[in-house]
Chain A
Amino acid sequence: MKPPVLVIEDEHDLAEEIRFELQASGHVVKLAETWEEGLRAARAGGVAVMVMDRMLHGEDGLTIIETLRDEGNSTPVLVISALSSVDDRIRGLKAGGDDYLVKPFELRELSARVEALSRRVADSRATRLRAGPLEMDLVDRTVRRGERTIDLLPREFKLLEYFMRRPNQIVTRAMLLEDVWNFKFLPQTNVVDVHISNLRRKIDEGGEARLIVNVRATGFKLHVDD
């Protein structure tokens, strides 16, 4: 059985929605409504990812992450919070949080990020990435699909690298904006989609199968056979 996702959230309705969403994408979910409960469950071990609301019953839970980290617990943590200033975000990540999602958020966004945290990102020291027919050399900055060499602009290379480090994983527009282009805003235009379709045009040629697919209302996925 897959290790469970521990959700620490005191707002019952939201906790239930998160549970449904995560279960729908194939996770086992454990709920906790207080810090004590959450801490106990986290210490019991075997948790894949923790999703915690930063404020529980009016108490800031950043110390919980710090306590766990001090105890040597390295379970990835996604902090959800209504505190959205850059400062709050930095403090949340400094305390040991791995990702920070600001309320209100879309459940699909949350589940994509939990997915990202639950998978090990390919070794960042690797100099070659491989995903299905795609092969990327990070030193020579070259990309091949099978035998065919693909010519990419630097910005396209960066984008494809992000996908190749997360094969078969849902990547949201917000994740791309934040991680690839370091943007903290949501454009009113379809600028992200245009970047994706430009990249797509270069990696899929003729009758080749589409590698980067749209995931309805959520984002994109690099779809390859494992």
Chain B
Amino acid sequence: MWMIEFLRARAFRIAIAFALAIAMATSAVFALIYLKVSTADVERIGALLVDEAAKGAGDSDDRLRRALDLRITRDLRRLDYVALFDAKGGLAFGNVPAMPAIPVDGRAHGVPEFPLPGSNEQADPAIFVARQRPDGSVLLLGRSLLEVYALRETVFRALAIALPPTVLLILAIGAIFASRASRRLARIRKTIADIMNGDLGARLPETGEADDIDKVAHAVNLMLDEINRLLDQLKSVGDNIAHDLRSPLAVARAKIERSLKQESTIEDLRAAMADALDHLDRAGVTIAALLRISAVENEPREKSFGEVDLSAICASVFEFYEPLAQANSIELTLQAPKPTLVRGDKDLMREAISNLVDNAIKFTPAGGKVRIEAATADGRPVVRVSDTGRGVPPQEREKIFRRFYQFERDGRGSGHGLGLSIAETIAKLHGFTLTVEDNNPGARFELRGADKASLALETARS
């Protein structure tokens, strides 16, 4: 079973294909060497014979015969052929039995089989050159290719012996790599199956080699972390939604029920209904805010993004909230002297900052201060909204951005707690972070962009 799986594995198939390709390339190189070895020798011998025949054909009869004689004598290995045929075709001198079937044109010609000089049994391939002399006689020079063919044989055998181990080696290496890769993939597959079966804490194995599989595994692990975080958030949100929606509904229901039971006047009924309606409205606001968050989250990212000046947005939010601050005897100040340019959605950013300011004014008692600042600090755009209210205790700081989280700040009005969640959702959409710090006294909310947010814009502008 494992074997079949293994053979089917993509990695193994790639290894096989790779091994085949290498084997073929190696064979091709060997074949080329083999061919070159034989033809180069034959060509060299042919050229030599052609030169010698041309030289010998012009010599006098005597000289020629002496030269031919010498050639035979020197040829200890008996591979050279020499012959001189008279004008009528009769053999005048030489060590060949008869004229080979080649044209008399002074060029080299191969003959597939020719008996070796001085032997009548063994016939081997040979190369010949025949040339007409001025007196009509024909000079024949030749050489057996026995040696060349022997060399060819040797090379061929060497190649035949070397090739199979080479291919096997390549296959083996391929198989090792393939099995390593496939074992890693099998581990990853098993982990994924575990995660699907509910083990949400499991993560894909990372070897730290930073290869392709590792990079994918790392990305998947990051994704799993994020999914886990969202699931956790969802779990607590579920409980909180139920609570936030149920309490106003329960109150409204109780009020209506009670006023129906009692013998009440029309005025009493009206008052009870109006009261119930207020509670239903609160549930409605919660739902509207929740829908707003999901709308922001589903907003196609980047689509509506453009150059946005956070300082200008802060100024417009300041202007919008100034009368409210005055009415509540809160000193609202703005400090945004220079443009703070980022990439983003203007309306959403305005919504986020307004939520922060709305929240700050709501939780600051009369005589307090709320301050809006926009600046670029350490190359990162920052919007700060600080107040002098009661602040947010350290253990609550993480929680307040959670959907539906609500804690009693100052005991003044119970906000639905969603404004901060909306602001945080918008911040995230922009790659910003929203944090809360101590303002001694009060709270300081900080909307901080990644350094890239402003850098990208700087380079785009320059």
Which of A153-173 touch B at CB < 8 Å?
155
Question: Is there an interface contact between A189 and B323, defined as CB atoms closer than 8 Å?
Answer: no
Question: Is there an interface contact between A85 and B354, defined as CB atoms closer than 8 Å?
Answer: no
The segment from A24-32, A36-44, A62-70, A180-188 found at the interface with B is A180-188
Bound-complex Cα distance A184 to B413 (A): 22
Closest to B277 in A: A217
Give the shortest distance, in Å, between A66 (CB) and chain B (any CB).
Answer: 23
A185 and B354 contact, Cβ closer than 8 Å, known pairs A85-B295, A86-B347: yes
Query: Is B284 on the interface with A (CB-CB < 8 A)?
Result: yes
Which of B277-315 touch A at CB < 8 Å?
277, 281, 284-285, 287-289, 291-292, 294-295, 298-300, 303-304
Query: Is A194 on the interface with B (CB-CB < 8 A)?
Result: yes
Closest to A196 in B: B323
Closest to A185 in B: B351
Taking chain A's interface residues, is the majority helix, strand, or loop, or is none over half, making it mixed? Answer: loop
Of B277, B299, B355, B416, which contacts A185 at CB under 8 A? B355
Query: Is A198 on the interface with B (CB-CB < 8 A)?
Result: yes
A190 partner residues in chain B, CB cutoff 8 A: 324
A194 partner residues in chain B, CB cutoff 8 A: 323-324, 326-327
Give the shortest distance, in Å, between A190 (CB) and chain B (any CB).
Answer: 7
Closest to A156 in B: B323
Bound-complex Cα distance A222 to B127 (A): 120
Give the shortest distance, in Å, between A203 (CB) and chain B (any CB).
Answer: 15
Which of A187, A188, A190 is most buried by chain B, counting CB atoms within 10 A of its CB? A188
A188 partner residues in chain B, CB cutoff 8 A: 358-359, 362, 413, 415-416, 419
Question: Is there an interface contact between B281 and A106, defined as CB atoms closer than 8 Å?
Answer: yes
A86 and B415 contact, Cβ closer than 8 Å, known pairs A104-B284, A106-B284, A191-B320: no
Chain B interface residue count, Cβ-Cβ cutoff 8 angstroms:
38
Question: Is there an interface contact between A85 and B299, defined as CB atoms closer than 8 Å?
Answer: yes
Of B292, B320, B323, B361, which contacts A198 at CB under 8 A? B323
Give the shortest distance, in Å, between A82 (CB) and chain B (any CB).
Answer: 8
Query: Is B350 on the interface with A (CB-CB < 8 A)?
Result: yes
B321 partner residues in chain A, CB cutoff 8 A: 191
Chain A interface residue count, Cβ-Cβ cutoff 8 angstroms:
24
Bound-complex Cα distance A185 to B292 (A): 8
A74 partner residues in chain B, CB cutoff 8 A: none
Which of A69-103 touch B at CB < 8 Å?
84-87, 102
Of A86, A181, A197, which contacts B299 at CB under 8 A? A86
Question: Is there an interface contact between A183 and B351, defined as CB atoms closer than 8 Å?
Answer: yes
Give the shortest distance, in Å, between B442 (CB) and chain A (any CB).
Answer: 17
Which of A87, A185, A194 is most buried by chain B, counting CB atoms within 10 A of its CB? A185
Residues of B participating in the A interface, judged by any CB pair closer than 8 Å: 274, 277, 281, 284-285, 287-289, 291-292, 294-295, 298-300, 303-304, 319-321, 323-324, 326-327, 347, 350-351, 354-355, 358-359, 361-362, 413, 415-416, 419, 422
Closest 5 CB pairs of A and B: A191-B324, A85-B295, A84-B295, A194-B324, A187-B358
Given contacts A182-B350, A191-B321, 10 further A-B pairs with CB under 8 A are: A84-B291, A86-B295, A87-B300, A104-B287, A104-B288, A155-B319, A183-B320, A188-B419, A189-B362, A217-B277
Residues of A participating in the B interface, judged by any CB pair closer than 8 Å: 84-87, 102, 104, 106, 155, 181-191, 194-195, 197-198, 217
